[in-house]
A and B are shown apart, each in its own frame.
Chain A
């Protein structure tokens, strides 16, 4: 049952991470990010108790909420955003396909190194890392950069949960996730502020 759930989470992560690459509307981006954290929670459950795994879910959802609320208060930037974003959806789909292929090949080896974390956990985490890196490679728009970083870190967190069960690590990673979202929100606001002369 747990294994089936883990593979469902991997499919969920595949859909959301590819979706994050394809969608342009920030509302869908935030929704997909929130769903992605649900998948991450299920994968983390394979090695951590519910209490600790739910820290990731709550921190992830809070981060998504911070980014969503900040973005909702800003003027529409879709035109600017599209200029920074490779246009072809087909291109991005092809790139995502390449990542999936690499992940499929690398999962077995990584699973062996990571103390037999489980194929679902190893595959899911590598998928997140790969898609996150792809995201970082094709955009310089702040919201997407932060989401890319959060995706990469999520992949690492899932993988690391298989080998480390410290409460301090869980807490610090949650703080880093929230910090990343806050930094993203700060930079989004800064990006939309009219330059002023500093008065100190």
Chain B
């Protein structure tokens, strides 16, 4: 038995098998339970260490050879897998409430397996190929066969596909730079290629136009899942570049570029959300701003930045899951997601309305919510480096806060004497209720997840040390 078989091939096969099941509840429960088991296994089963189970000695090998190359899951990557599959379980448990389980669970498993493969493949440059395959699988997830594909889907396909050649060529050029570090022209070329590749992949400003488009055209819950899994693992893949190439890690230009990209995403995401009059698009801009926070964390000194980057992941997963589930429930009950038809929704969708507002506030670093501890640490360390950057970050956060309060004003603006008549299903109420409680728990007791996060920086050889 080896780790790539358990955490890559098995989920891939499970995803294919689940395509034959049509029951939302069964799929959601099966997906959630399997995801949870994979997460627990990743956290507690040691890799490359013999264990005895019922008198039998077992050892999970770390590598699997495929066509002359290796899929390698290091023992130090266990906590990361636990975090990824834990997040996946969270999304799949909520899939029934979003009525998207028939597509999300099977294809979601396959996408997750490919994204994990992108972290495991050696040489790591081939990761771009696995990410591209995951992107191709995301198309049937985002577009059901019975509805015409939207412009957002086409743009998503184009942008994400264009990222792959840039990253692979950049990776090859980076090898050349390592061989001759004095060649500044080659270094600049490879860094530009790498930057372009990640700009496409992470939807960095101004290449994020497909995100708000898709938020209106597809199920917000499915978009939320894609906007969680792809950027999260892509950023870890990007951090892998910094870990491997010392000249890249120590380059002041790269720090500036990362900071500018992160701030551009955060400020544009925050400000566009503040002026937006569509609840689904506000969520899309919130997701863009979330990626901005992660990129900003990468721009910090890695000893501080990497733990903050990992601290952002659980808050992002839970926040985006609650937000997108709330928006999905709201979308079921209104003609359009614009402010006009959404007036007074809180009276008929109290759980969805509360979930949406709390998740928006969490993204906007509101105290006592899940997003607060990581953002506070990020802001504090950013301010030490550059006051102007911290002010720009504050501007982005203010934009997000304005969007939260505008949304709250709109959904609570009901006619006088309108009675409270919750229309969410019991499953939706339970999932949203648990999600909101989770956002408070993560905000009030951030140390509870430190047990899972503390060993994560060990997956890098140099970053975070």
In the bound complex, what is the Cα–Cα distance between A17 and B102 (angstroms)?
Answer: 40
B69 lies within 8 A of A168 (CB)? yes
Interface size on A, residues (CB 8 A): 38
B158 touches A145 (CB 8 A): yes
CB closest residue in chain B, given A156? B165
Q: Which candidate, B128-136, B199-207, B290-298, B402-410, is the interface stretch facing chain A? A: B128-136
Please, which residues of chain B bring their CB within 8 A of the CB of A104? none
Known pairs A152-B165, A191-B148, A195-B148; A179 contacts B136 (CB<8 A)? yes
A82 to B67, CA, bound (A): 44
Q: Is the CB of A113 within 8 A of B186?
A: yes
Chain A residues within an 8 Å CB radius of B148: 190-191, 193, 195
Q: Is A189 an interface position by the 8 A CB rule?
A: yes
Evaluate contact between A180 and B172: CB separation under 8 angstroms.
no
Q: Select from chain A the residue with minimum beta-carbon distance to B68.
A: A167
Contact between B139 and A186, CB atoms less than 8 A apart: yes
A169 to chain B: which residues have CB within 8 Å?
Answer: 126, 129
Q: Is B9 an interface residue (CB 8 A)?
A: no
What number of B residues sit within 8 Å (CB to CB) of A? Answer: 40
Tell whether, in the assembled complex, residue B172 and residue A164 are in contact, meaning their CB atoms are under 8 Å apart.
Answer: yes
- B22 within 8 A of partner (CB): yes
Contact with A along B4-31 (1 / 0, CB 8 A): 0000000000000000001010000000
A166:B146 contact, CB within 8 angstroms: no
Dominant secondary structure at the A interface: helix
Q: Does A175 contact B (CB under 8 A)?
A: yes
Contact B68 A200 (CB under 8 A): no
- Interface check B154, CB cutoff 8 A: yes
Is B153 a contact of A187 with CB atoms below 8 Å?
yes
Cβ contact within 8 Å between B102 and A200 = yes
Instruction: Give the contacts of B116-169 with A (CB-CB under 8 A).
Output: 126, 129-130, 132-133, 136-137, 139-140, 143-149, 151, 153-154, 157-158, 161-162, 164-165, 168-169
On whether the beta carbons of A156 and B169 are closer than 8 Å, the reply is: yes
Convert A173-199 into 0s and 1s, putting 1 for each residue whose CB lies closer than 8 angstroms to a CB of B. Answer: 101100110110011011101111010
B343 CB–A CB distance under 8 Å: no
Residue of A nearest to B70 (CB): A168
A184 to B68, CA, bound (A): 31
CB–CB B162/A152 < 8 A: yes
A129: chain B residues at CB < 8 Å are: 165
Q: Say yes or no: A183 contacts B157, CB within 8 Å.
A: yes
Interchain CB contact under 8 A, A180 and B154: no
Q: Is the Cβ of B146 less than 8 Å from the Cβ of A113? A: no
* A160 proximal to B (CB < 8 A): yes
Chain A residues within 8 Å of B173, by CB: 113
Chain A residue with Cβ nearest B166: A156
Q: Nearest Cβ in chain B — how far from A187, in angstroms? A: 5
Question: Taking the complex as formed, is B53 at the interface, i.e. its CB lies under 8 A from any CB of chain A?
Answer: no
B338 interface residue, CB < 8 Å from A?
Answer: no
Q: Which B residues lie within 8 Å of A198 (CB)?
A: 99, 144, 146
A129 to B161, CA, bound (A): 13
Using CB atoms, name the residue of chain A closest to B165.
Answer: A156
Residue of A nearest to B69 (CB): A168
CB closest residue in chain A, given B103 = A200
Cβ of B139 and Cβ of A193 under 8 Å apart?
no
**Which B-chain residue is minimally distant from A159 (CB atoms)?**
B169
Q: How far is the CA of A180 from the CA of B186 in the complex (A)?
A: 32
Query: Complex formed: what's the CA distance from A11 to B186 in Å?
Result: 30
Which residues on A sit within 8 Å (CB–CB) of B140?
A: 183, 186
Are B147 and A183 interface neighbours, CB within 8 A? no
Cα–Cα distance between A183 and B141 once the two chains are bound (Å): 11
Known A-B contacts A172-B129, A172-B133; A160 and B157 likewise in contact (beta carbons under 8 Å): no
Residues from chain A with Cβ under 8 Å of B145 in the complex: 186, 189-190, 193
Chain B residues with CB under 8 A of A190: 143-149
Residues of chain A within 8 A (CB-CB) of B168 are 156, 160
B184-196: CB near A (< 8 Å → 1, else 0) gives 0010010000000
Tell yes or no: B426 within 8 A of A by CB.
no
Q: Tell yes or no: A69 within 8 A of B by CB.
A: no
**Interchain Cβ contacts under 8 Å between A and B, 8 examples:** A113-B173, A145-B154, A156-B169, A180-B161, A182-B136, A189-B145, A191-B148, A193-B145
* Chain A positions near chain B (C-beta within 8 angstroms): 113, 129, 136, 140, 142, 145, 149, 152-153, 156, 159-160, 163-164, 166-169, 171-173, 175-176, 179-180, 182-183, 186-187, 189-191, 193-196, 198, 200
